[in-house]
A and B are shown apart, each in its own frame.
Chain A
Amino acid sequence: DAKTTQPNSMESNEEEPVHLPCNHSTISGTDYIHWYRQLPSQGPEYVIHGLTSNVNNRMASLAIAEDRKSSTLILHRATLRDAAVYYCILPEYNFNKFYFGSGTKLNVKP
Chain B
Amino acid sequence: EAQVTQNPRYLITVTGKKLTVTCSQNMNHEYMSWYRQDPGLGLRQIYYSMNVEVTDKGDVPEGYKVSRKEKRNFPLILESPSPNQTSLYFCASRLDSEQYFGPGTRLTVT
Are chains A and B native binding partners rather than an unrelated pairing?
yes
Binding site for B on A (CB under 8 A): 1, 32, 34, 36, 42-46, 49, 87, 91, 95-103
> What's the least CB distance linking B82 to chain A, in Å?
23
Given contacts A34-B97, A98-B33, A101-B42, contact A44 B90 (CB under 8 A): yes
Q: List the 9 closest pairs (A to B, CB-CB), nearest first.
A: A43-B101, A100-B43, A46-B98, A43-B90, A102-B42, A100-B42, A44-B101, A49-B97, A43-B104
> What's the least CB distance linking B101 to chain A, in Å?
3
Q: How many residues of B contact A (CB 8 A)?
A: 25
State the majority secondary structure of interface residues on B. strand
Write out the residue numbers on chain B whose beta carbons fall within 8 Å of the beta carbon of A103: 42
Q: Is B99 within 8 A of A44, CB to CB? A: yes
Binding site for A on B (CB under 8 A): 4, 31, 33, 35, 40, 42-45, 48, 50, 56, 58-59, 90, 92, 94, 97-104
> What's the least CB distance linking A99 to chain B, in Å?
7
Q: Is A32 within 8 A of B99, CB to CB? A: no
Write out the residue numbers on chain A whose beta carbons fall within 8 Å of the beta carbon of B43: 44, 87, 98, 100
Write out the residue numbers on chain A whose beta carbons fall within 8 Å of the beta carbon of B98: 46, 49
Report Cα–Cα, A102/B59, bound state, in Å: 15
> What's the least CB distance linking A22 to chain B, in Å?
15
> What's the least CB distance linking B29 to chain A, in Å?
12
Q: Which B residue sits closest to A101, measured CB to CB? A: B42
